[in-house]
């Protein structure tokens, strides 16, 4: 009966503990990160009674939690991807909405300026049309500056969020390390800390919202956490520390590093996934390229308009002055430079100019230029001196001072251009609508040659005067000045400009031998001549960018389209990853979470078993009393 009592008591206690576990499961049915627990029963050792072994009751061998490591990893991975894409989509949408707005967007602003140019071409003597052009030019400059300022503001907010995310990652890493220590201590004493393990899983899931993580579970249940390309963020009870690093060239842009015994290791290019990865991607894929491309467009507008403006004649009969100013090339020295070298750069070719940034580094006793984004080497010509500058990607680069080995400079051809864009003309009469020169055919010409156009192509080399183009045959010509001196000779092709003294004459047809054409300064500044303003419109629509493949409007459309595509892709990816994450989270919850139907069945089963054990204890008590009474 003693054995009967002991067996019954073991069952009573076991089912009471099982009910406690079930009760705790039900109580935590809505607790985030809680994994359902199970009381695992095992038969107690039996006792040999001569005729055989008699069972010794039941023991609670362990209390384990429902945990599926594979599903947890899928949930964390999809959470990290969703957070990254969602962050990128949010950043991209801001730029997309700004540039694609129907009335204040980039294409609309450019078109309004072109419309104002066309109004002047229709009424070149109209003061109102000229004033409208100046107003639209100022509005265009201000709109582009507004875009640039908003990008700067988004960048400032992004850098602040990078710093916040790094702080949050460090906090989570320290908490994970602390839990690892407690879990290890419990494991050493033979305990299974299910609650601590749930907390640990929850922290790792939170960490995955900030950065991609990889985990390795130790035998104790503690978890090592790795980020980037395998850098240990948490190793046992030790947490590494992430920190923000001022950018090598621009201290306002924060990189991400990890503190080690040997200093800080830069992990920026290895930080993927999560909100932090999304922010870094937004900076490199959205903000910086957009600012550079806007700068390229600003340079193109200023260059093309100013060239033609200076090639034309104002209403006062004078040569036109530049309409716009634009920001120059920005050169940023590396914080690690130790030499005395300085670098300056100017733009020389609009066609060769790109929207990329470049790194100029002194290595192996020579200067080397590489694309900052791709790392691709760029050929340099020249010597880098003021007399013989380096020439590359539409830039002229001059080095002064003495560099040390590995000194470097970041050259940004267009990043600062838009910030310096502004309208310079203040008087409508300053608009150069008329051409500086006019052309006429000799009355004695007998061929079919016709004047197409005449104009100044290079104000810097233009020499005012009367020039005569005389044909010695249908294909050969000579250009002479008023004094009879030869200025140029060449072979004529119909429709191909004849260039000389900073100006050009375009003819069509076939001139006869002895035919002559005269090019001279325009005699009437305000007589309705619109040829220069038409040339300005034509210049803006010409394929002047990207090696002669893209116009200003084309570059604007490409920028708006690129941002729109990136935004749509990021939104689609975020939506897809959100669906994947929801599915993974649901699967994890189904596997690890509390099932109320199952728990209700367990309550009924354990309750009945408990009551049965209580009845057996009562029976053993009665049997014991009967035995005592019989023994008297």
The arithmetic mean of pLDDT across residues 528-548, rounded, is: 91
CB 170 within 8 A of CB 239: yes
The arithmetic mean of pLDDT across residues 314-337, rounded, is: 93
Rounded distance between C-alpha atoms, residue 201 and residue 67, angstroms: 10
Banded pLDDT at 317 (limits 50, 70, 90) = confident
Residue 81 has pLDDT above 80, yes or no: yes
Render pLDDT for 384-419 as a digit per residue (tens, 0 to 9).
999 999 999 999 999 999 999 999 999 999 999 999
Q: What pLDDT score was predicted for residue 22?
A: 77
Residue 2 has pLDDT above 50, yes or no: no
Rounded distance between C-alpha atoms, residue 246 and residue 266, angstroms: 11
Banded pLDDT at 524 (limits 50, 70, 90) = low
59-73, 157-171, 452-466, 520-534: which is most confident: 157-171
pLDDT, greater one: 27 or 221: 221
Residue 187 has pLDDT above 60, yes or no: yes
Rounded distance between C-alpha atoms, residue 105 and residue 181, angstroms: 56
Q: In angstroms, how far apart are the furthest CA atoms of the chain?
A: 159
pLDDT, greater one: 44 or 239: 239
- Tell me which residue of 317, 326, 293, 321 sits closest to 307, measured CA to CA: 321
Render pLDDT for 482-499 as a digit per residue (tens, 0 to 9).
999 999 999 999 999 999
Beta partners for residue 343, in sequence order: 399
Render pLDDT for 86-100 as a digit per residue (tens, 0 to 9).
999 999 999 999 999
Banded pLDDT at 1 (limits 50, 70, 90) = very low
Query: pTM for the whole thing?
Result: 0.85
The arithmetic mean of pLDDT across residues 257-262, rounded, is: 88
Banded pLDDT at 528 (limits 50, 70, 90) = confident
Residue 595 has pLDDT above 80, yes or no: no
**Residue 528, exposed/middle/buried by CB under 10 A (0-12, 13-18, 19+)?**
exposed
Q: What pLDDT score was predicted for residue 525?
A: 59
Q: What pLDDT score was predicted for residue 48?
A: 64
Show the DSSP H helices in 127-261 as ranges: 127-188, 194-208
Residue 220 has pLDDT above 90, yes or no: no
The sheet carrying 467-471 orders its strands as 437-441, 516-521, 467-471, 476-480, 486-491
Banded pLDDT at 42 (limits 50, 70, 90) = confident
Q: What is the mean pLDDT of the chain?
A: 90
Q: Which of 32-41, 231-240, 334-343 is predicted least confidently?
A: 32-41
- Tell me which residue of 97, 84, 85 sits closest to 151, measured CA to CA: 97
396-400, 435-439, 592-596: which is most confident: 396-400
The alpha carbon of residue 574 and the mean position of all alpha carbons in its chain are separated, in whole angstroms, by 15
CB 395 within 8 A of CB 348: yes
H or E, element range at 285: none
Q: What is the residue extent of each domain of the chain?
A: 2-66+594-630, 71-284+552-585, 329-410, 437-521
**CA-based Rg of the chain, rounded to a whole angstrom?**
40
Q: What pLDDT score was predicted for residue 40?
A: 74
Render pLDDT for 16-34 as a digit per residue (tens, 0 to 9).
777 777 777 687 777 777 7
Strand, helix or coil for residue 507: strand
Rounded distance between C-alpha atoms, residue 463 and residue 564, angstroms: 48
Q: Which two tokens stand for residue 607?
A: 């309750």
Banded pLDDT at 627 (limits 50, 70, 90) = confident
């Amino acid at each position: 009966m003693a054995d009967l009592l002991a067996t019954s008591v073991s069952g009573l206690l076991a089912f009471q503990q099982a009910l406690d576990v079930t009760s705790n499961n039900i109580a935590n049915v809505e607790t985030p990160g809680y994994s359902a627990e199970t009381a695992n029963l095992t038969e107690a050792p039996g006792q040999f009674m001569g005729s055989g072994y008699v069972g010794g009751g039941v023991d609670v061998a362990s209390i384990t939690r429902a945990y599926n490591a594979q599903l947890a990893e899928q949930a964390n991975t999809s959470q990290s991807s969703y957070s990254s894409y969602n962050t990128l989509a949010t950043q991209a949408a801001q730029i997309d909405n700004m540039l694609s707005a129907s009335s204040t967007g980039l294409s609309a602003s450019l078109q309004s300026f072109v419309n104002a140019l066309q109004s002047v071409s229709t009424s070149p003597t109209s003061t109102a049309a000229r004033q409208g052009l100046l107003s639209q030019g100022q509005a265009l400059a201000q709109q582009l500056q507004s875009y640039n300022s908003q990008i700067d503001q988004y960048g400032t907010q992004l850098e602040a969020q990078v710093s916040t995310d790094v702080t949050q990652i460090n906090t989570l890493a320290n908490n994970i390390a602390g839990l690892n220590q407690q879990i290890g201590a419990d494991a050493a004493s033979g305990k299974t800390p299910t609650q601590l393990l749930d907390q640990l899983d929850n922290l790792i899931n939170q960490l995955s919202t900030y950065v991609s993580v990889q985990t390795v579970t130790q035998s104790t249940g503690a978890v090592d956490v790795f980020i980037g390309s395998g850098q240990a963020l948490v190793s046992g009870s030790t947490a590494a520390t992430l920190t923000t690093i001022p950018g090598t060239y621009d201290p306002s842009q924060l990189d991400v590093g990890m503190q080690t015994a040997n200093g800080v290791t830069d992990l920026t290019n290895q930080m993927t996934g999560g909100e932090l990865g999304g922010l870094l991607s937004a900076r490199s894929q959205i903000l910086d390229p957009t600012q550079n491309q806007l700068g390229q467009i600003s340079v193109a507008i200023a260059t093309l308009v100013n060239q033609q403006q200076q090639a034309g004649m104002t209403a006062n009969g004078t040569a036109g002055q530049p309409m716009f100013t634009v920001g120059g090339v920005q050169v940023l020295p590396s914080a690690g430079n130790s030499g005395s070298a300085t670098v300056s750069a100017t733009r020389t070719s609009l066609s060769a100019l790109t929207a990329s940034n470049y790194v100029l580094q002194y290595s192996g006793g020579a200067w080397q230029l590489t694309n900052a984004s791709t790392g691709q080497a760029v050929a340099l010509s020249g010597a880098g001196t003021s007399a013989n500058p380096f020439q590359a990607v539409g830039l002229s680069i001059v080095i002064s001072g003495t560099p040390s080995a590995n000194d470097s400079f970041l050259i940004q051809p267009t990043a600062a251009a838009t910030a310096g864009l502004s309208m310079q003309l203040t008087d409508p009469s300053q608009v150069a609508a008329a051409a500086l020169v006019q052309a006429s055919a000799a009355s004695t010409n007998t061929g079919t040659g016709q004047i197409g156009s005449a104009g100044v192509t290079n104000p810097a080399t233009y020499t005012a005067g009367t020039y005569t183009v005389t044909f010695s045959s249908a294909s050969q010509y000579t250009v002479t000045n008023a004094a009879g001196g030869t200025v140029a000779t060449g072979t004529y092709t119909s429709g191909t400009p004849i260039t000389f003294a900073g100006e050009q004459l375009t003819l069509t047809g076939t001139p006869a031998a002895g035919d002559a054409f005269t090019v001279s300064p325009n005699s009437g500044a305000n007589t309705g001549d619109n040829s220069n303003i038409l040339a300005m419109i034509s210049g803006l629509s010409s394929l002047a960018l990207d090696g002669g493949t893209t116009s200003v409007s084309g570059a604007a459309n490409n920028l708006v389209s690129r941002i729109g595509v990136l935004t749509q892709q990021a939104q689609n990816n975020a939506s897809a990853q959100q669906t994947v994450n929801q599915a993974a989270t649901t699967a994890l919850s189904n596997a690890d979470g509390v099932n109320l139907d199952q728990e209700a069945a367990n309550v009924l089963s354990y309750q009945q078993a408990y009551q049965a054990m209580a009845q057996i204890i009562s029976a053993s008590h009665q049997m014991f009393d009967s035995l005592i009474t019989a023994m008297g």
